[in-house]
Amino acid sequence: MLLESVRSWLGGGSPAPGTGPPFPGELEDPREADLPAKPEGPWPAARIEVCEQIWGEGFLIPGGGEEVMRLAKPLGLSSAASLLLVGAGSGGAPRIIASQLGVWVSGFESDPDLAALAMERCTRARLGRRAMVEMWYPQAPSFRIQAYHHGLALEPLRDAKPEPVLAALAGALRPRGQLMLVEMVADEPLDAADPLVAAWCRLERRSAELPTERAVTRMFGRLGFEVRVAEDVTQRYIHLAVLGWRAAVRDMKAERPPPARAARIVAEAELWLVRLRMMREGRVRMMRWHAISSRRELA
């Protein structure tokens, strides 16, 4: 498999999928001696650099900018509209949507390191208030009521209760507002004691609790949204991930990375090996919902 070859090529003899070094902050490779000894957050600068080498500057998801635009365009965005973007990542999504569609983007990111970087990049792009990024808190979600025409949310339910997050998203949109949601689901409860699931949780730094597709669709209904599309995009996600890694490996062959960076790449490949195996085995799936609000104006 392509990702296994990454570990073999960069790291020599490597462990079986899911048993290698977790990422980030727990690497014990002596080549990482120049890194801080204290635990890192989920998104240290070195990891962001590796991910952006694979997905493109400002992007941390398979498909990069092209995939973000594919999700945004069905919302019919224009310079007369405002967009609530949850999951701004490292800044690529708010910048590309604002610059290509002219829409006013209010981006939100739950990781402080990513939020700071995303806002810095939006400022450097000189988009002014057309592309802004600030923090949000999944455990206590709060957005301005009926402040946005439409919304795009990229995996906002990670380690958060689905009901309050979806309610906050729904309440932030104006009447007839459209919401595009991309989220990971599990058809059956995941067993945290299962070795593969345990490795996935450790590498992803997340819990084994995921919503089901049916539960999310029902929540939309209770919140006054009509679900127009509920699409399983797992195979597309896998395809884009493999394409990204294949291109990254091709580029790295021209210039072999130094040892510390190689260790980072191997660790990221380890994470993706487990993530894609979870998807291929049907343990988890990636879903896309496109829903339209039927709520009335506030009195």
What does the DSSP assignment read for 253-273? Answer: HHSPPPHHHHHHHHHHHHHHH
Give the tens place of pLDDT for each residue, 17-43.
444 444 333 333 434 445 455 567 899
Instruction: Give the CATH class of 2-293.
Output: alpha beta
Taking alpha carbons only, the member of 166, 180, 184, 291 closest to residue 237 is: 184
Given this model, what pLDDT does residue 197 score? 98
**Contact at 8 Å (CB) between 293 and 179?**
yes
Mean local confidence (pLDDT), 200-221? 97
Q: What pLDDT does 38 receive?
A: 58
pLDDT in tens, 162-176: 999 999 999 999 999
DSSP reduced 3-state for 242: helix
Question: Which tokens hold the place of 170?
Answer: 């729904």
Placement of tokens 């040892």 in the chain: 259
Q: In the structure encoding, which two tokens stand for residue 200, read together? A: 């996935």
> What is the C-alpha separation between 129 and 104, in angstroms, rounded?
7
Confidence (pLDDT) at 254: 81
pLDDT above 90: residue 191: yes
- Give me the chain's average pLDDT, please: 89
Q: Hey, is 61 helix, strand or coil?
A: coil
Dihedral sign for Cα 214, 215, 217, 218, please. positive
Q: Enter the tokens of residue 237.
A: 């996600």
Distance between CA atoms of residues 185 and 187, nearest Å: 7
Closest to 21 (Cα-Cα) out of 238, 271, 284: 271
Task: Using the predicted structure, report yes or no on whether residue 7 has a pLDDT greater than 70.
Answer: no
